[in-house]
Structure 1
Amino acid sequence: MSAPHDPLTAHRRLKAGSLVDARAPIGVDGFFQPRRAAFWLFVFFLVNGVFSMVSNFYVGYRVVPTAVVLATLVWALYALPFLLFFRSLDLFEQHPPLGFAMAFAWGGFAACYLAIPVNSAVESLSAKLFGPEFTKDWGPALAGPINEEILKLLGIVVLVMIARTQFRTILSVVVLGAMIGLGFQIVEDLLYSVNTAIQFPYTDQVVPVGLMFLVRGVFSGIWSHALYTSVAAFGIGYFITRRHKPLVQRTAVAVGAFALAWFLHFFWNSPWLQNIGGGGVGGVLVLSLLKGIPVLAVGYLLWRFAGHEEGSQLRTVADYYIDDDLMTAEERDSLTSLRERRHLRKHMRQAHGRKAARTLHRLQRAQLHMIRVCEENGAGVPAARAAQDITALRTDLAAATA
């Protein structure tokens, strides 16, 4: 039985033969938790990371100021399509903005700050044990996956410990994992650009930035850290959301997901297949596709599984809390599928124009937002405000399709 529109007067509802307090908030932890040790652990590593990265960039700025400014602009703009892609998937309803900012900051500053000396130590140990030639070929494949994946995964664990009840589905963990990986990827690419400009044999400070953008942005950016970390995060998400499963099974999935992320990173950094495709830009492109497409395929399958599970959760909450005049049965079916939502917008654009399609998109997001509000707070005042937004957008959509 759906909740009445006025949650302030509707105190109870009938559900499965029992009375349930419809106004009682389910409760969701925020990401600002100064009373938890994990929060201060996060702050400690973040402050150290910011100080270390800013110091590195300041030293670089004194040597190649144009390259530092240009690289910062280039990689900041490069991050925007990824953020817009996440928004197009309606993933930003998963967590408040502070959660995404903290995830990006951990990857970009804390994980990078910790990875630099550890990577150097692993490569130095490899050179002593196996020789410099071996380390030249296999050093990145050893140091990067081992150190960087562990440090990024540590960020996921810390965020989960800070805001424990934020993570109710696998996708909610995968999204923050991708954001941690994106932060690491952007700051690492920025460091590579600055260091390349410092070591460049000519005085030109623009060309090295362009070369790094081509190699690390165009050829390898899609199948990079954001994807690796989201794969590892899948295991953490399974572990904390499948509490009804045996501990051994949950642990095996978590370890397996991390091992898969490690192998994907190792496969990319390794010298395998390096002679395929020949030299030049064409050869680099062929090698990137041969190594990158399998990585992308694995990530797609895991994201799709997490998305299906997320859809089931959304439908359950919508059926429990939301009336049919706010969300019809057809809309409930379509909201659980990104493909169906896009299909409806495409049909709306063909039938009534772009304005109507944009209004439908806003309505879909408002409905998703209301589901999140109900999931986190029950049928309280925030849900009533979300219902008002949906009603207003329905009026706008009716006018756009008149």
Structure 2
Amino acid sequence: MSTPAAFVAPRTRSAFDPRSLVFWVGVGLLIYGIVQAGSHVAISLLSAPVPGAFALLLWSGYAAAVLALIQRFAAFERRPALSIAMAFVWGGFIATGIGTVAAPAAHSIAADLVGADNGWATAIGAGAVEEPLKMLGLVALALIPGARIRSAADGLFYGAIIGLGFEVVESFLYSTQWEVSGTSFSTIVLYLFLRGFVGGLASHPTYSAIAGAGVGYFFGSTASAIKRWAVMLGTLLLAIVLHIFFDSPLLEFDNPLPSTAIKSIPVIILALIIVRIVRGKQRKALEAGARDVVPDELVSPADFESLRTRKARKQAVKAMKKEHGRKAARALTGVQRAQLDLLVSALDDGMESVEARAAWQRLYDAQQGLREHMPTAATG
């Protein structure tokens, strides 16, 4: 197999891009968010250090678990850790910090319309403010070239991360405020169970993922401007409506557990439909790339059959392990990862781009490594 000609190391793919004005605006907003949300976190920890530390530990573990789950939904593309961290920070501090000021104002406006004691006022105020704030974080990332928001799949992923950051910090503040007011440690655990596990899949990460898919489509699609704007604003509106519905007094019972579980069902169903659509379009694009863009000696249509799903990749690795051993199986995993990286880079930047040539080199090295463990077999 030929090697990539004139290989040049690629530029760093990250939202950390000091050349971008949007990056520095984000830094300024982060400082503001830390002052606002961070001060509330500090007050909670100082007022009740032991329960505060306990809540921080629980919600940090929850964040790590949900982040791992979100990354499993990223079936094809690896995304930079720094960009993921910046998305989380936007949701956790910038959106939350600005929300501590904007949400009460929106609640006051909603209360004037529906009544101060009406539960809809809180729901409308939260949904109408928090969803646009989180979505703006993704728009900011998309405007930073290094972040590389190129598709609905990118928007879905980073939107979920932004929502996770918001949910974790907001939930930490709520649970510690309850503890400071005199409730027990068990309240923190129950709150984690109710807000994190029962309603977690139908909460902020889901709303922001839905809106994020629209943002990614807006920046990555070649459709008409009208269609792109319609999709982006439509998904934002859907996220707001779902948020308001979930926080509304509809289907409320004395026990919040059944209410939360029932309300979660339609939210999760809609989210899964959108995930399925987005992943299906991404899979079709990569399949077309294997057929029309990337040379067959690197990724053929037949190769893509074993790459198209996580299950198919695992089955191929399992078969390799059975036939040629553990080292060959690990090497095949590296080949699969390099092939997917090449497909993504070739579609985003073209086969002659710096990024694609770097992926090409990684694939060449991975295939050479696989040959060392199975010298008599064809490796692509």
Q: How does 1:346-357 map to 2 (within 5 A)?
A: none
Change (3 A) 1:305 1:92: closer
Q: Which of these residues, 389, 393, 398, is aligned with residue 366 of structure 2?
A: 389
Partner of 2:287: 315
CA distance in 1, matches of 2:37, 2:61: 19
CA distance in 2, matches of 1:361, 1:286: 43
The amino acid that maps onto 2:236 is F
CA distance in 1, matches of 2:346, 2:225: 30
Q: How does 1:53-72 map to 2 (within 5 A)?
A: 53-72=37-56
State yes or no: 1:117 paired with 2:117.
Answer: no
Partner of 1:265: 243
Offset of residue 102 of structure 1? 1.0
Q: Is the 8 A contact 1:50 1:110 kept in 2?
A: yes
Q: Which of these residues, 32, 41, 64, is aligned with residue 80 of structure 1?
A: 64
Partner of 1:8: 5
Offset of residue 130 of structure 1? 4.1
Q: Is the 8 A contact 1:367 1:390 kept in 2?
A: no
State yes or no: 1:176 paired with 2:158.
Answer: yes
Q: Which moved more, 1:55-64 or 1:374-383?
A: 374-383
Partner of 1:226: 205
Q: Which moved more, 1:368-377 or 1:72-81?
A: 368-377
Q: Deviations over 1:239-258 (max 9, x none)?
A: 22223x22222221112111
Q: How does 1:13-28 map to 2 (within 5 A)?
A: none
Change (3 A) 1:49 1:348: same
CA distance in 1, matches of 2:322, 2:85: 37
Offset of residue 286 of structure 1? 3.0
Offset of residue 389 of structure 1? 2.2
Q: Is the 8 A contact 1:370 1:387 kept in 2?
A: no
CA distance in 2, matches of 1:269, 1:349: 50
Change (3 A) 1:322 1:128: closer
CA distance in 2, matches of 1:343, 1:288: 38
Change (3 A) 1:365 1:394: farther
CA distance in 2, matches of 1:233, 1:224: 14
In structure 2, the residue corresponding to 1:380 is in which secondary structure?
Answer: helix
Q: Deviations over 1:21-46 (max 9, x none)?
A: xx799989642322322111111111
State yes or no: 1:300 paired with 2:282.
Answer: no
Change (3 A) 1:362 1:382: closer
Q: Deviations over 1:195-241 (max 9, x none)?
A: 1111135xx4x222112112211211111111101111121122222
Change (3 A) 1:381 1:123: closer
Q: Deviations over 1:255-278 (max 9, x none)?
A: 211111111111111111114xxx
CA distance in 1, matches of 2:127, 2:43: 28
State yes or no: 1:286 paired with 2:255.
Answer: no
Change (3 A) 1:63 1:363: same
Offset of residue 324 of structure 1? 4.4
Partner of 1:12: none
Q: TM-score of the superposition, structure 1-length normalised?
A: 0.81
Higher relative contact order (CA 8 A, sep 6+): 1
Partner of 1:248: 226
The amino acid that maps onto 1:380 is R
CA distance in 1, matches of 2:204, 2:76: 19
CA distance in 2, matches of 1:133, 1:362: 58
The amino acid that maps onto 1:59 is I
In structure 1, the residue corresponding to 2:117 is in which secondary structure?
Answer: helix
The sequence identity of aligned pairs, in percent, is: 31
Partner of 1:207: 186
Q: Which of these residues, 145, 153, 158, is aligned with residue 135 of structure 2?
A: 153
Question: Cα RMSD between the aligned structures?
Answer: 3.1
In structure 2, the residue corresponding to 1:272 is in which secondary structure?
Answer: coil
- Unmatched runs of 5 consecutive residues or more in structure 1: 10-22
CA distance in 1, matches of 2:85, 2:70: 14
The amino acid that maps onto 2:264 is G
The amino acid that maps onto 1:5 is S
CA distance in 2, matches of 1:76, 1:28: 28
The amino acid that maps onto 2:71 is R
Partner of 1:13: none
Q: Is the 8 A contact 2:120 2:248 kept in 1?
A: yes
Q: Is the 8 A contact 1:311 1:335 kept in 2?
A: no
